[in-house]
Structure 1
Amino acid sequence: MSREYEEMQVEKWVNLEDVAEHLSISQDTVRTWIKEGKLPVYRAGKRYKFKISEVDEWVREGKIQE
Structure 2
Amino acid sequence: MSKEYEEMNVEKWVNLEDVAVHLSLSQDTVRTWIKEGKLPFYKAGKRYKFKISEVDEWVRTGKIKE
TM-score by length of 1: 0.91
Matched to 2:63, the amino acid is K
Q: Which has the higher strand share?
A: 2
Amino acid at match of 1:22: H
Amino acid aligned to 1:60: R
Q: Distance in 2 between matches of 1:63 and 1:4?
A: 36
Which residue is equivalent to 1:7?
5
Question: Runs in 1 of length 4+ with deviation above 4 angstroms?
Answer: none
State the partner residue of 2:57.
57
Alpha-carbon distance, 1:30 to partner: 0.2
User: 1:25-36 counterparts in 2 under 5 A?
Assistant: 25-36=25-36
SS in structure 1 at match of 2:48: strand
Give TM-score scaled by structure 2 length: 0.91
Q: How big is the shift at 1:55? A: 0.4
**RMSD value over aligned CA atoms?**
1.0
Q: Identity, % of aligned pairs?
A: 81
Deviation, 1:56, is 0.5
Q: Which runs of 5+ in 1 are unaligned?
A: none
